[in-house]
């Protein structure tokens, strides 16, 4: 697979990416647990079929100390015993927030209420933002066919 367009060097796309990077930094500086953020980044990337982001976030999570068992089970989190109730709420919100077109109502009141039970207002803002940002990054990578496999932890600073 060859990348169709390098959105890191294309003048217009690179400016857009910088905005997404800034949004990601705001999330990283929030009180949302880093492990929860990485699980959400990985799950959304799995749903969207973004090989580059799956590679990146699996490696970043591993470098941050996440266990292989939990990473392998993210795709089947509903049937796994290794996630907390709060992480399950975040993953459910991530799935419904990513699959908006699949449900007439978008994110259900039940999923939102469950997330709000486990996360405060700042953390909810971070969750909503990280879901939106990774969906945008996934689309950039999928549209341009950016392949996964060569990412190194910390590659982007």
User: What's the rounded mean pLDDT across residues 126-146?
Assistant: 96
- pLDDT band, residue 101 (cuts 50/70/90): confident
Tell me, what's the pLDDT at 150?
93
Residue 109 DSSP class = H
Tell me, what's the pLDDT at 155?
87
34-144 has which fold? Answer: AhpD-like (1.20.1290)
- Percent of the chain residues past pLDDT 90, beyond the cut: 85
For 45-100, the pLDDT digits (tens) are 999 999 999 999 999 999 989 999 999 999 999 999 999 999 999 999 999 999 98
Quote the mean pLDDT of the chain: 94
User: What's the rounded mean pLDDT across residues 96-123?
Assistant: 92
Q: Is residue 3 predicted with pLDDT exceeding 90?
A: no
Tell me, what's the pLDDT at 157?
73
- Residues whose CB is less than 8 angstroms from the CB of residue 109 and which lie 6 or more positions away in sequence, other chains included: none
Cα-based torsion angle of the residue sequence 14, 16, 20, 21 in order, rounded to the nearest 10 degrees: 30
Q: Is residue 34 predicted with pLDDT exceeding 90?
A: yes
**pTM of the predicted model as reported, rounded to 2 decimal places:** 0.93
């Amino acid at each position: 697979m060859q990348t169709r367009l390098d959105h890191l060097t294309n003048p217009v796309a690179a400016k857009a990416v910088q905005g997404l990077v800034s949004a990601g930094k705001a999330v990283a500086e929030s009180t949302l647990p880093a492990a929860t953020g990485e699980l959400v980044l990985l799950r959304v990337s799995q749903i969207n079929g973004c090989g580059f982001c799956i590679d990146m976030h699996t490696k970043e999570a591993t470098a941050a100390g996440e266990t292989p068992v939990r990473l392998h089970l993210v795709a089947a989190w509903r049937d796994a015993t290794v996630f907390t109730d709060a992480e399950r709420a975040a993953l459910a919100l991530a799935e419904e927030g990513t699959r908006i077109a699949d449900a007439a109502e978008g994110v259900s009141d039940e999923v939102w209420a469950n997330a709000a039970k486990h996360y405060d207002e700042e953390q909810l803002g971070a969750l909503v933002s990280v879901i939106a940002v990774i969906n945008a990054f996934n689309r950039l990578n999928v549209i341009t066919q950016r392949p996964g496999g060569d990412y190194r932890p910390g590659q982007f600073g």
